[in-house]
Chains A and B, each alone.
Chain A
Amino acid sequence: MTGPILRGLILALTLLFLIGPFFIIVAAALSAGQSLAFPPDGLSLRWFIKVFEVESFRTSFAVSMSLAIFGTLTALLLGIPAAYALHRYPIPGAEAIRLTLSTPIIVPGLIVGLALLRYLVIPTGIGIYAALFLAHTALVLPYAVRVVSASLANLRSDIEEAALLLGATRTGAFLRVVLPNIRGGVLAAFILGFVTSFNQVPVSLFLSGPGVRTLPIDMIAYMEITYDPSVAALSALLALMSVGIVFAAERTLGFSRYV
């Protein structure tokens, strides 16, 4: 009976591989020493406290938060109608549109970042925040379209017709009948978009500039100068935040159905 044992071992190793780094980061963050090290040099919470004292972390956290929230909301505002139109009408070239909408996921972030810098930011001279906002919205849009499409596919289209015959306008039918029935998918898209935007590095790397940085970029910059465990503490906090959001989403609406 080696089968079950072998399977158990493979499972354990896979899990270790997936979540091991997280534990190493948490352990390193709990260190009492001055530099980032594993195993930790004594135990303390001082680096977790330090995180909140670093001014640049606070401002870049605010930048990342607002990008994640407003970028994702904008992506949903564009993505929900797009998903609906693709689902509902026989649009010529629908497949091409779907593919184009996915390119921000497929094309490597470094290329997207460089391209945006070279062909959007430099020629137009738009502000750093505006550039970041546009980039994050574009990056999140594919998720919005995809996840909302998945929940639209599970929705019968005749309920819209029923609403029309009961006196609703087309817009009214969408707002009163379609939207309430895909709210789980919309929320899932929001969470997925939020997490994607918040953790985004390569594109933000090119677009961040003086005074405006996202949190991950700020962490990289911080590490180049100060090699203390506060970055590990911050990473642990961010990972916990992501896990918390996804966990809450899974519990309330079965997040994994949509992703």
Chain B
Amino acid sequence: MSDHLSLEDVTIAYGQTVAVEALDLAVADGELVTLLGPSGCGKTTTMRAIAGLVSIRSGRIELAGRDITRVPPSRRGVGLVFQSYALFPHLNVFENVAFGLRLAGTSDLRRRVEAGLATVGLSDFAGRPVAALSGGQQQRVALARSLVMEPALLLLDEPLSNLDARLRLDMRTELQRLQRETGVTMIFVTHDQGEALALSDRIVVMRDGRIEQIGTPEEIWSRPISGFVADFVGFEVIVPEGDGALAWRPSAVALGAGPHRGRVVGTAFAGERREIVLESPLGRIKAETAATAPPHALGTELAFDLPRERAVRLARVG
């Protein structure tokens, strides 16, 4: 199978600062891949390089069998939904969506804009000024504006981060539906592992300008390879062992009995469960009990166990 998008040995630098180093990435046609990582990990820079908004120092980018490394952004066939939506404030909803089609001299412009607005459920908003729309609606306009161009690849920069919790869930479902219906290949940039796990076919975890791990959400969730990824997906108890480490989720820490002892230095009620932080010779250990269990007072000495069968093995502590 040939790759739809491929980045080969891509390095991006601003002056002396290397933002992305020797990155290789292949994305299949119709796939939804997430670039996941904390701010400064190079995920946004990578996305902007794919769009052509930053130039790469070395390497090669191919899209749909075409070398686009030196192709200007206007001719890459890449759509980008900006985090801030970046709608044109002087144009109404219809004209925002029509912008690219007009430049391309599309003949059935009206039909395509209307179809685009219908896809995102905004048919009744064509004549509105964009400033009159809610954040969620503005984002749909931004999506429609990119989708009507029928891009070979759609990039989404933190598309859910500016929405409130309820809208975020709606939009997540919406994005999945759009991807099913249009079949467009998507790259989604986020720092939220929950979004990444829920949406992606594959997740690319990035760190310091490099790829830390690539895998399906299930692989990333259950088999992180390093302390960095493990911590990102909730294996918060990491204990060095040999040249690697073992990691547990707080829920896997058994309290009340076991070979280790620790002192309670923090507790927090978190709805369905109660979080407990223990100070122990192994370091700080985060554990959980059911919220219905009686709370442990600060300073209490507790025995605990780190059951081996519930640990994941990490190649690196960090």
Residues in A lying within 8 Å of B, measured CB to CB: 156, 158-159, 161-169, 172, 176-177, 180-181
On whether the beta carbons of B90 and A163 are closer than 8 Å, the reply is no
Looking at the assembled complex, report how far the CB atom of B245 sits from the nearest CB atom of chain A, in whole angstroms: 41
On whether the beta carbons of B84 and A165 are closer than 8 Å, the reply is no
On whether the beta carbons of A166 and B90 are closer than 8 Å, the reply is no
Q: State which residues 34-61 of B face A: CB under 8 Å.
A: 51-53
Closest residue on chain B to residue A160 by CB atoms: B86
Looking at the assembled complex, report how far the CB atom of B78 sits from the nearest CB atom of chain A, in whole angstroms: 6
Q: State which residues 45-104 of B face A: CB under 8 Å.
A: 51-53, 72-76, 78-80, 82, 84, 86-90, 99-100, 103-104
Q: Which residues of A contact B84 (CB under 8 A)?
A: 156, 158
Closest residue on chain A to residue B80 by CB atoms: A165
On whether the beta carbons of A167 and B87 are closer than 8 Å, the reply is no
CA of A168 to CA of B72 in the docked complex: distance in angstroms? 10
Would you list 11 pairs from A and B whose C-beta atoms are within 8 A, ordered by A residue? A161-B80, A162-B80, A162-B82, A162-B86, A162-B145, A164-B74, A165-B53, A165-B76, A167-B75, A168-B103, A181-B88
On whether the beta carbons of A167 and B88 are closer than 8 Å, the reply is no
Closest residue on chain A to residue B97 by CB atoms: A166
On whether the beta carbons of A177 and B88 are closer than 8 Å, the reply is yes
Q: Which residues of B contact A180 (CB under 8 A)?
A: 90
Q: Which residues of B contact A176 (CB under 8 A)?
A: 99
On whether the beta carbons of B100 and A164 are closer than 8 Å, the reply is no
Mark interface residues in B108-146 (1 if CB within 8 Å of A CB, else 0). 000000000000000000000000000000000010011
Q: Does B149 contact A (CB under 8 A)?
A: yes
Residues in B lying within 8 Å of A, measured CB to CB: 51-53, 72-76, 78-80, 82, 84, 86-90, 99-100, 103-104, 142, 145-146, 149
Looking at the assembled complex, report how far the CB atom of A169 sits from the nearest CB atom of chain B, in whole angstroms: 6
Q: Which residues of A contact B80 (CB under 8 A)?
A: 161-162, 165
Looking at the assembled complex, report how far the CB atom of B140 sits from the nearest CB atom of chain A, in whole angstroms: 15
CA of A61 to CA of B75 in the docked complex: distance in angstroms? 52
Closest residue on chain A to residue B155 by CB atoms: A165
CA of A168 to CA of B53 in the docked complex: distance in angstroms? 13
The 7 A-B pairs of least Cβ separation, nearest first, read: A166-B100, A162-B86, A158-B86, A180-B90, A167-B103, A164-B73, A159-B86
Q: Which residues of A contact B88 (CB under 8 A)?
A: 159, 162-163, 177, 181
Q: Which residues of A contact B73 (CB under 8 A)?
A: 161, 164-165
Q: Which residues of B contact A167 (CB under 8 A)?
A: 74-75, 100, 103-104, 149
Known: A162-B82, A166-B146, A168-B74. 13 other contacts (CB 8 A): A156-B84, A158-B86, A159-B87, A161-B86, A162-B80, A162-B142, A162-B145, A163-B99, A164-B53, A165-B53, A167-B75, A172-B103, A181-B88
On whether the beta carbons of A164 and B90 are closer than 8 Å, the reply is no
Closest residue on chain A to residue B89 by CB atoms: A181
CA of A177 to CA of B99 in the docked complex: distance in angstroms? 10
Partner of A165, one of B78, B87, B89, B90: B78
Closest residue on chain B to residue A155 by CB atoms: B89
On whether the beta carbons of B51 and A165 are closer than 8 Å, the reply is yes
On whether the beta carbons of B99 and A166 are closer than 8 Å, the reply is yes
Looking at the assembled complex, report how far the CB atom of B70 sits from the nearest CB atom of chain A, in whole angstroms: 15
Closest residue on chain B to residue A169 by CB atoms: B74
On whether the beta carbons of B145 and A166 are closer than 8 Å, the reply is yes
Known: A158-B82, A161-B53. A166 touches B89 (CB 8 A): no
